[in-house]
Amino acid sequence: MAAVQALKTLVVPPASGGMPSATVFLLHGLGDSANGWIDVARMLGRQQALQHIRFVLPTAPVQPVTVNMGMKMTSWFDLYSLTSLEEGEDEAGMLRSVEAVRGLVQQELDGSAPGLNGHKLPMNRIVLAGFSQGGAISLLLSLTQPEQLAGVAALSTWLPLHAKIQSMRPPTPPTFPLFQAHGTLDQIVEYQFGQRTFAFLQNELGFHSLAEWHEYPMPHSACPAEIRDLGAWLERVVPL
């Protein structure tokens, strides 16, 4: 595997002005950047019940993307097809991004991330959230590491490497609260991919009542109702 590339990040500090008691990572989708989600992070962070949260938004590396005729763009991994997301997956690229994000999480744990000044956050106060490709990386990382996160939010996405995910999990795999949301009009990551991921997480990986499903009449995007629901879920999984 090629060397893991350090990721650039944008940080929205707690609106309270103090040190955070929780961190939410927010990973963008294909061709986007941290800037594309900074307004969402700020909007969530201003909510009264979420002002203790620090939001960390990394930007994916720039690389050629097969589905876009080999054009270079920000991407968490190469994507070969939109009609068959589960065939010919870029496993090496996915695992590189998992390790890169894992490195950022480790900086939260040991207090070495910029702005923390040695203030450490435990894994059970860290949430991974992501849209599309970013959601796929969030799911893959959370399912293959041994410590339990506070929760995972998977937006308009799918579970990659599902055929081998069981063999990639630790001996005693943790479960965690899961917020999954999808647009019923999504023509990029089809609605059925989200539904199948949710069913797999419940029936094969044992999430059951820990997982909640939300759907909205929208294409491959986010909507105000979804962000409101995400905010309410964050209040429950990382309360003050």
Q: Which residues are part of the catalytic machinery? A: 132, 186, 220
Over residues 153-175, the mean pLDDT reads 93
Burial degree of 217 (CB within 10 A; 0-12, 13-18, 19+): exposed
With respect to residue 103, please indicate whether it lies within any of the assigned structural domains: yes
CA 233 to chain centre: 15
Residue 19 predicted with pLDDT over 70:
yes
pLDDT at residue 174 in the model = 84
Instruction: Give residue-wise pLDDT tens across range 62-81.
Output: 999 999 999 999 999 999 98
With respect to residue 160, please indicate whether it lies within any of the assigned structural domains: yes
Query: In terms of residue numbers, what domain contains 113?
Result: 8-237
Q: Which helix (H) or strand (E) holds 224?
A: helix 224-237
Residue 141 predicted with pLDDT over 70:
yes
For residue 24, what is the domain's CATH number? 3.40.50.1820
With respect to residue 1, please indicate whether it lies within any of the assigned structural domains: no
With respect to residue 190, please indicate whether it lies within any of the assigned structural domains: yes
Tokens of 9: 């990040």
Over residues 27-32, the mean pLDDT reads 98
| Number of domains forming the structure of the chain | 1
Residues, the chain: 240
With respect to residue 56, please indicate whether it lies within any of the assigned structural domains: yes
With respect to residue 223, please indicate whether it lies within any of the assigned structural domains: yes
